[in-house]
């Protein structure tokens, strides 16, 4: 379907006047070309406007204005260029200032004089080399991160995946020992570990506790277990210092997820003790989503009515049940996001935007605006 035909069909579907149609067409053309047409999971020959027409058709005529307003006013779409910018900002915005402050404290100089003081500069360069960067998923864009910091970071201090085998740990240790900036340092080790991922909306994928069976789960816990096993087998040859600091950075996060992660980290340290958990964990995000990116019943009655009316309980599964909130009408853990990432739509986003169901057992068959590719079944 051509763009012109799609727009004409959309105007008829929405019963827009000529003036309203012209205004909306200008916005749709702009946003489609700048952002929405770049979504990775459109079917062949289909782009945003065609998908919007098909999506709006599923709603009763009386509901279409609310559905369109959800897209027009509340959708938070993060494009490829915007994600790339968040990747590029990680080192200069988060990492370098922390290293400068650490070098200043170590050498007893003000932070703004670190580059002017030879001893402090050398301390900064050593701290930088003793920082390891590790991607928690492919969303970490470690290839982009590495290319963005050529000449600043070494390839031997970036790791693509969190579950590192012993051979890789040995390689990392050997490269540390050979680096001239660390000459004179006896048995150098990494003192900081940066864990990088694209999104945290609830915080529970990173770390969570099963209350019924009393055990810990999540990416951070799984990584801790793997590190502890490698450290016990390698002993002094293990390249992470005993009191290494963990920094967990997400390119995008909700404030609730950061608060939940900090609370769960505190609980894990209290339950497992100093020997059973990381010595220190710091959480940060390149972009913290505000309240406008979330749907809630207090201020979004019209949208919530659509969420209820067009919901299919077939979306509920064992993963939503394990989260403690089985109902998926506001997405996983009822986050109610209106977020779409260029490579996929999070399951924390309201399913009205991404769900695709058959509508069995009398439920409404849901058609997606941005089709989601799930990692879980």
Determine the pLDDT at residue 221: 94
CB 357 within 8 A of CB 349: no
Q: Can you tell me the mean pLDDT for 269-277?
A: 91
CA neighbor of 184 nearest in space, from 275, 122, 254: 122
- 51-62 pLDDT tens trace: 999 999 999 999
Edge to edge, the sheet with strand 190-200 lists: 158-159, 131-135, 190-200, 240-254, 280-289
- 215-230 pLDDT tens trace: 899 999 999 999 999 9
Query: Residue 34 pLDDT more than 70?
Result: yes
Task: Assign 1 a pLDDT band (cuts: 50, 70, 90).
Answer: low
3-14 and 18-34 helices, crossing angle to 10°: 130
Determine the pLDDT at residue 359: 83
The Cα 217–Cα 277 span in angstroms is 13
The Cα 293–Cα 254 span in angstroms is 9
The whole-model pTM stands at 0.92
257 vs 44 pLDDT, higher one: 257
For the chain, the first-to-last Cα distance in angstroms comes to 33
The Cα 138–Cα 155 span in angstroms is 17
CA neighbor of 156 nearest in space, from 174, 180, 136: 174
The Cα 148–Cα 87 span in angstroms is 8
Q: Can you tell me the mean pLDDT for 187-210?
A: 93
Task: Assign 377 a pLDDT band (cuts: 50, 70, 90).
Answer: very low
What beta strand segments (E) does 211-358 contain? 215-217, 240-254, 280-289, 339-341
Determine the pLDDT at residue 13: 94
Identify the weakest region by mean pLDDT among 266-270, 330-334, 371-375: 371-375
Determine the pLDDT at residue 375: 63
Tokens of 33: 């070309």
Identify the weakest region by mean pLDDT among 35-49, 122-136, 248-262, 281-295: 35-49
Query: Residue 28 pLDDT more than 90?
Result: yes
Q: How far is CA 165 from CA 137, 168, 230, 370, in A?
A: 16, 6, 8, 37
Determine the pLDDT at residue 248: 97
CB 355 within 8 A of CB 312: yes
CA neighbor of 50 nearest in space, from 23, 28, 80, 17: 28
Mean pLDDT of the chain: 92
Q: Can you tell me the mean pLDDT for 254-274?
A: 93
Spatial neighbors of 194 by CB under 8 A, at least 6 apart, are: 95, 131, 132, 133, 134, 247, 248, 249
- 275-332 pLDDT tens trace: 899 999 999 999 999 878 899 888 899 999 999 999 999 998 877 777 777 889 999 9
- 95-117 pLDDT tens trace: 999 999 999 999 999 999 999 99
- 128-171 pLDDT tens trace: 999 999 999 999 999 999 999 999 999 999 998 888 889 999 99
Tokens of 330: 């506001």
């Amino acid at each position: 379907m051509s763009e012109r035909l799609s727009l004409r069909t959309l105007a008829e579907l929405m019963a827009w006047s000529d003036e309203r149609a012209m205004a909306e067409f200008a916005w749709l053309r702009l946003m489609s070309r700048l952002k929405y047409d770049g979504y990775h999971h459109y079917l062949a020959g289909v782009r945003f406007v065609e998908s919007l027409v098909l999506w709006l058709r599923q709603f009763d005529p009386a509901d279409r204005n609310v559905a369109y307003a959800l897209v027009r006013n509340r959708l938070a779409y993060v494009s490829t260029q915007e994600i790339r910018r968040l990747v590029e900002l990680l080192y200069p915005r988060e990492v370098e200032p922390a290293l400068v402050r650490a070098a200043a404290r170590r050498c007893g100089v003000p932070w703004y004089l670190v580059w002017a003081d030879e001893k402090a500069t050398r301390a900064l360069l050593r701290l930088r080399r003793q920082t390891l960067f590790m991607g928690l998923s492919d969303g970490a864009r470690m290839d982009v991160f590495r290319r963005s910091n050529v000449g600043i970071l070494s390839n031997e201090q970036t790791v693509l995946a969190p579950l590192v085998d012993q051979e890789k740990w040995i390689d990392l240790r050997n490269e540390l020992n050979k680096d001239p900036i660390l000459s004179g340092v006896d048995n150098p080790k990494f003192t900081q570990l940066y864990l990088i991922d694209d999104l945290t909306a609830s915080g529970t994928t990173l770390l969570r506790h099963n209350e019924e069976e009393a055990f810990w789960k999540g990416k951070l816990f799984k990584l801790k277990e793997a590190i502890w096993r490698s450290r016990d087998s390698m002993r002094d040859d293990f390249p992470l210092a005993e009191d290494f600091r963990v920094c967990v950075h997400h390119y995008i996060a909700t404030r609730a997820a950061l608060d939940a992660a900090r609370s769960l980290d505190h609980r894990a340290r209290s339950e497992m003790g100093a020997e059973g958990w990381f010595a220190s964990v710091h959480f940060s995000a390149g972009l913290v989503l505000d309240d406008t990116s979330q749907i809630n019943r207090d201020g979004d009655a019209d949208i919530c009515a659509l969420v209820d009316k067009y919901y299919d309980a077939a979306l509920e599964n064992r993963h939503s049940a394990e989260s403690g909130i089985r109902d998926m009408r506001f997405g996983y853990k009822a986050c109610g996001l209106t977020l779409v990432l260029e490579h996929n739509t999070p399951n924390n986003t309201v399913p009205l935007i991404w769900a695709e169901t058959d509508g069995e057992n009398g439920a409404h068959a849901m058609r997606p605006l941005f089709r989601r590719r799930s990692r879980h079944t």
